Structure 1
Amino acid sequence: MGACMALCSLASCASCLCGSAPCLVCGCCPSSNNSTVTRLVFSFFLLLGTMVSVIMILPGMETQLRKIPGFCQGGTTILGIENQVKCDIIVGYKSVYRMCFAMACFFFLFSAIMIRVRNSKDPRAVIQNGFWFFKFLILVGITVGAFFIPDGAFNSVWFYFGLVGSFIFILIQLILLIDFAHSWNKIWVENAEETQNKCWFAGLLSFTVLHYALAFSAVVLFYIYYTQPDDCTEHKVFISLNLIFCLIISVVSILPKIQEAQPHSGLLQASLISLYTMYVTWSAMTNNPNRKCNPSLLSLVSHANTTATQPTASPGSGHVQWWDAQGIVGLVIFLFCTLYASIRSSSNAQVNKLMQTEEGTGSGGEGVVGKDGVHRAVDNEEENVTYSYSFFHFHLCLASLYIMMTLTNWYQPDTTTQAMQSTMPAVWVKMCSSWLGLGLYLWTLIAPLIFPDRDFN
């Protein structure tokens, strides 16, 4: 039902967005800037595919489909007609792999098409900002075709594509969090200075303390529950290293030289990055195949003395229990970063260079009223695009792979038993991405000192 409602919403949106002209500001368009509307609609495509993947991986979905007469292959027949639908393919982790494969191909195609688009006068910009109904049909066509891919080595090979893509996407998530923290700190400090209201500073201090308290509490819980006196050496190293790295970036962020070069840098950003780093550390440890070092969340809450029973799929079913705590948190962060990437208009030069965007310069707010009295979106990219079309689609392509790995708990398909297993490569991918992400944040702090001749305002 939810998928049907989403499809109806998309159809209504497509009715006002299928042309090549700037988008109509109708009920499905929350902004009057053409660039923002475009990003939101493409993000909606991604969220729609995510919702379908969540529905198809729910437990018992295959059982419900087999109840439909004449639908599943091997089930009951109607009028002697043999069923052709392989229900074990369209549900479980196999359906997630194929759905995310289709979305990744769709966004990668547009990423290749939109390379080096400079402004909205480029003929390709018309494709980017219009023809939504036809683009939706293309996505549906790729999705249908993906479900005809035979199992074979597809699941195993696509798992490693998911590892690499998710590694890069975690870095992009951290860049977006850095950008969000910089913008947050700058806006609140400016409000405090303009209004002379100390409540803004109190708010910044409160959130900074909260972030550090949560991060420190996480470290303590990690040492208690995810390490053993005679085992779990990797976890001890991971927790200790990331704790040290978080302390380093916190100290560096408030050094006088850094404050002089980056007036808006401070502990708020460092605290948020530290908290995110601890989340990635926890997410990595939950993928450790050593059950002694990876207790289940249920056992932690109930103080039971049992360890996690790995949620593997039964042969031929491919069901995966994805709704654990780290999967849910990962989805929440993904939704936040996807929405923020669609509406962001940053004034942070370094983050803009990393994300291949520019500070928003287009007009917005009211839109343009046509002769027919209908509001239309403002084309705010006649001179220069406010974001890289190609990079934005590449970001959504990586997001598709990240969703695939999140919904399947980063488990690796076993081609012999058709089960899903935790693997150490997933652990190392997450940990390496956290270290590289911390390095990127440190770079945003020290870059103005290393290159004093460049403008980093």
Structure 2
Amino acid sequence: MGAVLGLCSAAQLACCCGSAACSLCCSACPSCANSTSTRLMYSLMLLLVMVAAAITLAPGLHDELKKVPFCANSTGLVPSTYKVDCDQAVGYLAVYRICFAACLFFVLMAGIMLGVRSSKDPRAGLQNGFWGIKYLLVIGGIIGAFFIPEGSFASTWMVFGMVGGFGFIVIQLVLIVDFAHSWAERWVSNYDETESRGWYAALLLAMMSCYALTLTGIVLLYVYYTKADGCDLSKFFISINLILIVIMSAVSILPAVQEHQPRSGLLQSSVVSLYVVFLTWSALSNGDSQCNSIAGGNEETPAGRYWASFDKQSIIGLVIWACSVLYSSIRTASNSSKITMSQHILAKEGGGQGGLIDNEEGGDGGEAGASDTKVFDNEGDGVAYSWTFFHIVFALATLYIMMTLTNWYNPSSQLSKENVASMWIKITSSWLCVGLYLWTLVAPALLPDREFN
């Protein structure tokens, strides 16, 4: 599956080099919907932006990056009274500028694609092509962003980053809830059709594994983020989320819920519970440092403070982000997406009835063109997903990358892991996650006149 998707994206990428290269590449590619290959290309762009931003955190580039124009200890290429001492924060400030340029690109694309209804719109070419120009535009924007004087740029952009990061967390948890429902529906369906003990064992093992990891995570949070004579707020966050996990697990197996959703069960609850524990861990990592026994030792030295941000929590967050972006790029809308309101991100089912995309040199739409072209247009009668909303999601994803790579630190020369605002954003998102999942369970029962299937 990955090889097929990779070839589809390769066909899109070749189109930026000319019609001859596109024809040569597409002839070796499997059939692929244009809506899928386009989303994968934007995902590849976002992944490259993340890699570029992560590279700026490399130890070997620390001294070199201090020569950038916005640093007070730079070579002084652009004289300015608004500069910052980059002895500690140069990597984080570079990440801010790279993500700033990428975010503006996706905001610009969102504005351009307003009101597009089908691929017959003249703006469809901008959405599905011109990849070379798009990449050059992003690269040029990143270079230009390094000349932005520091001043209050980082502190102001951090506010946008926290708001945007929170927005993407909400969208991410929508995708995770949709994934949990789709996963359970498919496995339960396979079990009902085959009555195989293997599928039943797989369901039971997956559910028990997720709950075991959830319980282990709760215990570790109490051990490493609380103390016997203090840390009352941390204890409250962990305890309330534990209670919410028990409540939503119990609701998922209530007879009233099972009557309207026979395939609802503990597997979905276990997946959501595990994600709630991760959000709780992420929130507490930005809480009171006196209650964080993990990050105590390494932050006593400047180098330790600098590199403590790129820790396990950040890596897991980026892995979840990558899986969410990939899931939204290749997934079509399911029944559960009607409840989780993720239709704007996921492509509509039943797509692919449109005609093949013709080559520039053979666009007669005949049999020869169809046999030479493997990327087909499935949006001739209507877009498979909201193009504007898709770019808004990717703009928010860029801000989430920025905040995750910097571990939601306060951007200053004296880096501080304590960030009360980000702590409340993350813990609030965990409560929203539980609320959204509970809604998907009770919505069919509360609104019996509405069709969710």
Query: What is the letter of the counterpart of residue 319 of structure 2?
Result: V
* Structure with higher helix content: 2
Matched, 1:350 2:376: no
Q: 1:329 is matched with which residue?
A: 316
* Offset of residue 151 of structure 1: 0.2
Query: What is the letter of the counterpart of residue 378 of structure 2?
Result: N
CA distance in 2: counterparts of 1:31 and 1:224, whole angstroms: 52
Query: What is the letter of the counterpart of residue 400 of structure 1?
Result: T
Structure 1 residues 291, 119: CA separation in 2 closer, same or farther (over 3 Å shift)? same
CA distance in 2: counterparts of 1:351 and 1:451, whole angstroms: 11
CA distance in 2: counterparts of 1:265 and 1:182, whole angstroms: 8
CA distance in 2: counterparts of 1:155 and 1:93, whole angstroms: 9
Structure 1 residues 74, 327: CA separation in 2 closer, same or farther (over 3 Å shift)? closer
* Offset of residue 291 of structure 1: 2.4
* Offset of residue 148 of structure 1: 1.3
Q: 1:203 is matched with which residue?
A: 202
- Partner secondary structure for residue 310 of structure 1: helix
Asked if 2 retains the 8 angstrom alpha-carbon contact of 1:212 and 1:274, the reply is yes
CA distance in 1: counterparts of 2:168 and 2:405, whole angstroms: 15
Q: 2:446 is matched with which residue?
A: 450
* Offset of residue 27 of structure 1: 9.6
User: Comparing 396-405 with 24-33, which one deviates more in the overlay?
Assistant: 24-33
Q: Provide Cα deviations, 1:158-177, integer angstroms capped at 9, x if missing partner.
A: 01111111111111111111
Asked if 2 retains the 8 angstrom alpha-carbon contact of 1:18 and 1:131, the reply is no
Q: 1:6 is matched with which residue?
A: none
Alignment of 1:262-411 (within 5 A): 262-288=261-287, 290-296=288-294, 307-310=296-299, 319-348=306-335, 349-351=337-339, 353-356=341-344, 357=346, 359-363=348-352, 370-371=368-369, 374-411=372-409
- Partner secondary structure for residue 42 of structure 1: helix
**Where does structure 2 lack aligned partners over 5 or more consecutive residues?**
1-8, 358-366
Structure 1 residues 38, 30: CA separation in 2 closer, same or farther (over 3 Å shift)? farther
Query: What is the letter of the counterpart of residue 60 of structure 2?
Result: G
Q: Provide Cα deviations, 1:245-280, integer angstroms capped at 9, x if missing partner.
A: 111111111111111212232111110000000011
User: Comparing 168-177 with 109-118, which one deviates more in the overlay?
Assistant: 109-118
Structure 1 residues 372, 30: CA separation in 2 closer, same or farther (over 3 Å shift)? closer
Matched, 1:48 2:35: no
Asked if 2 retains the 8 angstrom alpha-carbon contact of 1:92 and 1:320, the reply is no
Asked if 1 retains the 8 angstrom alpha-carbon contact of 2:174 and 2:340, the reply is no
CA distance in 2: counterparts of 1:64 and 1:208, whole angstroms: 49
- Partner secondary structure for residue 299 of structure 2: coil
* Aligned residue pair count: 423
> Percent of pairs identical after alignment?
47
Structure 1 residues 370, 313: CA separation in 2 closer, same or farther (over 3 Å shift)? farther
Matched, 1:33 2:33: yes
Q: 2:3 is matched with which residue?
A: none
User: Comparing 29-38 with 393-402, which one deviates more in the overlay?
Assistant: 29-38
Alignment of 1:150-169 (within 5 A): 150-169=149-168
Asked if 2 retains the 8 angstrom alpha-carbon contact of 1:30 and 1:37, the reply is no
Q: Provide Cα deviations, 1:18-53, integer angstroms capped at 9, x if missing partner.
A: 679xx8664997860100000000011100000001
Alignment of 1:3-14 (within 5 A): 14=13
Query: What is the letter of the counterpart of residue 310 of structure 1?
Result: E
Alignment of 1:95-134 (within 5 A): 95-134=94-133
Q: Provide Cα deviations, 1:282-311, integer angstroms capped at 9, x if missing partner.
A: 1111111x32211126xxxxxxxxx34437
* Offset of residue 324 of structure 1: 0.8
* Offset of residue 372 of structure 1: 8.9
Residue 428 of structure 2, aligned match among 421, 428, 432: 432
Asked if 2 retains the 8 angstrom alpha-carbon contact of 1:74 and 1:83, the reply is no
Q: 2:260 is matched with which residue?
A: 261
* Offset of residue 66 of structure 1: 8.0
Structure 1 residues 371, 274: CA separation in 2 closer, same or farther (over 3 Å shift)? same
* Offset of residue 404 of structure 1: 0.5
Structure 1 residues 96, 28: CA separation in 2 closer, same or farther (over 3 Å shift)? farther
* Offset of residue 184 of structure 1: 1.0
Matched, 1:94 2:93: yes
CA distance in 1: counterparts of 2:446 and 2:77, whole angstroms: 67
* Offset of residue 350 of structure 1: 2.3
- Partner secondary structure for residue 230 of structure 1: coil
Asked if 2 retains the 8 angstrom alpha-carbon contact of 1:179 and 1:346, the reply is no
Structure 1 residues 325, 159: CA separation in 2 closer, same or farther (over 3 Å shift)? same
CA distance in 2: counterparts of 1:224 and 1:330, whole angstroms: 21
- Partner secondary structure for residue 453 of structure 1: coil
Structure 1 residues 49, 227: CA separation in 2 closer, same or farther (over 3 Å shift)? same
